[in-house]
Amino acid sequence: MTLPVVALVGRPNVGKSTIFNRIISQRLSIVEDTPGVTRDRIYAHGEWLGKEFSLIDTGGITLNDQNLNQEITSQAEIAIDEADVVVMVTDARVGVTNEDEVVAKILFRSHKPVILAVNKADNLQQRQDIYDFYALGLGEPYAVSGVHGTGMGDLLDALINQLPLAGNEPADDTIKFSFIGRPNVGKSSLVNAILGEKRVIVSAAEGTTRDAIDTKFINRADQTAYTMIDTAGIRKRGKVYENTEKYSVMRAMRSIDRSDVVVMVLDGAQGIREQDKRVAGLAHEAGRGVIIAVNKWDAVAHKNQKTMQEFRDYIRDEFRYLNYAPIVFVSALHHQRLDQIMELVQQVTVNQNRRIQSSLLNELLLKATAVAPAPIVKNKRLRLYYLTQVATAPPTFVAFVNDPDLFHFSYERFLINQLRTTFEFTGTPIKIIARKRK
């Protein structure tokens, strides 16, 4: 299901990130009383009265920019292009500014639904002063306080009334997988090589692919229908210069959300960089199946019989949280071992949706606790009574225990390893939730 998209826009230091955090009920976006502190777009899921949507917190524009109006114009236009509904955030303490008027004019001409939020209306006097914002021509202003939460209910009520209906797309039973990675590792080249025809722009220039491109095809080898999602390269935080590049990060995150399996692409010739770990972490945290594809293996110099195994050990050491992900060494240029990617995508999809009977799980639990008894924490021993599977994609299990606070992450990791040893869960993360037995 593709969720409707809501973008928060406005000049710097009006409290967009504070409102963003208030809506998603967590401190995901960095909040600091300094103009322009939000450098990257932040993307998360929001929900109000049972209606879900994707929420974008746009980056602030520094007041030192020489071409401020040009920057504001570019910022607003990108948000308009991406969003179904735009929330324009202003500041009740400062009042209407020239920059607010620039953004409002662009939004007015866009014919997109716009909700006007007047933030920092923390007291009665500030809430009464919001009527000046009618001059922006965007309709009724909503007085809110992102810090205290006042007025947010009315704002969200107005917001969800403007949202398009989600989930009306035709049923799609294809296996969906995406390529992610930092720019210029060869994601688009892999797409073209697998399809056998050019449907995606391939260029040595980083960031060529601005948006995700979906391509449906049937794999001749297994006659299975797939949807392949090519995503924009994810650039290192602090080194994203173009506004369109910043939005490509958000689009990549959305592509991960829409995928069953994610193929993390590395550059075999350049090795692993710190940003590779952060990119892979997006898929791991989302609970998607993960495959690691080392591209450009043909360009690796001075290979011998041990090179591949040494690089595999290198990956395992750098990506310890992805020890479940299979590794394949490929070359998009020479079409080497591309069939292994498709085989792994199908295998990981099956593993993502695997269900294990409770009787088998509790046999495993008895053997595991016999081999390694649960630890004693604060003079109290953890007791595990029952293990059952409650969800798939990713496989999720509930362990009923005497005290969830005693369920240390090290013992959780032990049980996950036991599950992997006993059952086939290659390529998929596993979650275990501890609950107190009633």
The dihedrals phi and psi of 33, each to the nearest 5 degrees, come to -80, 55
Residue position matching structure tokens 């193929």? 263
Q: How far is CA 85 from the centre of its chain?
A: 20
CB 270 within 8 Å of CB 314: no
Q: Which residues are annotated as a binding site for GTP?
A: 10-17, 57-61, 119-122, 181-188, 230-234, 295-298
Nearest Cα residue to 100 out of 61, 57, 136: 136
In angstroms, what CA-CA distances link 108 with 74, 144, 160, 307, 413?
15, 22, 19, 59, 53
Burial string for 218-254 (b: 16+ CB within 10 Å, else e) reads: ebeeeeeebbbbbbbbbbeeeebeebbbbbbbbbbbb
Strands lying side by side in the sheet with 175-180: 213-219, 224-230, 175-180, 261-267, 289-295, 327-329
Q: Which residues are annotated as a binding site?
A: 10-17, 57-61, 119-122, 181-188, 230-234, 295-298
Nearest Cα residue to 58 out of 98, 96, 103, 105: 103
Burial class of residue 36, CB neighbours in 10 A (0-12, 13-18, 19+): middle
End-to-end CA distance of the chain: 36
Nearest Cα residue to 352 out of 265, 424, 253, 293: 424
Number of H helices, E strands in the chain: 12, 17
Residue 201 CB neighbours (<10 A): 13
